[in-house]
Amino acid sequence: MAEGSRKTEREVKMLGDALKDMPVYMRIFSRTLRSLYVQHAVGTNDEPAREFRKLRDKTRDDAMVYHQYILPVSTKFVSSIREYFEYYDALNYEEWCEMLPDILQETKGYKELCNTVLQMHEDLLEPLKKRNDEALLLVTKFEDLEVEYEKKKRELEERAKKNQDWAIFLAFVPYIGEMAALLLSVLADLHMEKAVAEGQQAKIQEAVSVAVSKALIPAVNKFIDGIETAAAFFSAIEHQLMSFENKASNADDDPKRGHYMVMKTKAKDMKSTCQSFYAVLPAVRTNFEAIPTEGTDQNYVDECLEKLKKTIREKCRVPGLAGKMLRDMKTRLSFKPVV
**DSSP string of 212-238, one letter each residue:** IIIIIHHHHHHHHHHHHHHHHHHHHHH
pLDDT top residue among 135 and 26? 26
- How does pLDDT run across 62-90, given as a tens digit for each residue? 889 999 899 988 888 899 899 999 999 99
Spatial separation of the C-alpha atoms in residues 281 and 10, rounded to whole Å? 28
Name the CA dihedral angle for 126, 130, 135, 137, rounded to a multiple of 10 degrees: 150
Percent residues over pLDDT 90 in the chain: 29
- How does pLDDT run across 18-35, given as a tens digit for each residue? 998 898 888 888 888 887
Amino acid at 161: K
Q: Pick the range with the lowest mean pLDDT from 64-73, 134-143, 161-170.
A: 161-170
- How does pLDDT run across 201-220, given as a tens digit for each residue? 555 555 555 666 777 888 88
Q: Is the pLDDT of residue 259 over 60?
A: yes
Percent residues over pLDDT 70 in the chain: 68
The 3-state DSSP class for residue 172 equals helix
Amino acid at 318: V
Rounded to two decimals, what is the model's pTM? 0.74
Q: State CA 85 to chain mean position distance.
A: 21
Tell me how far apart the terminal alpha carbons of the chain are, to the nearest angstrom.
Answer: 33
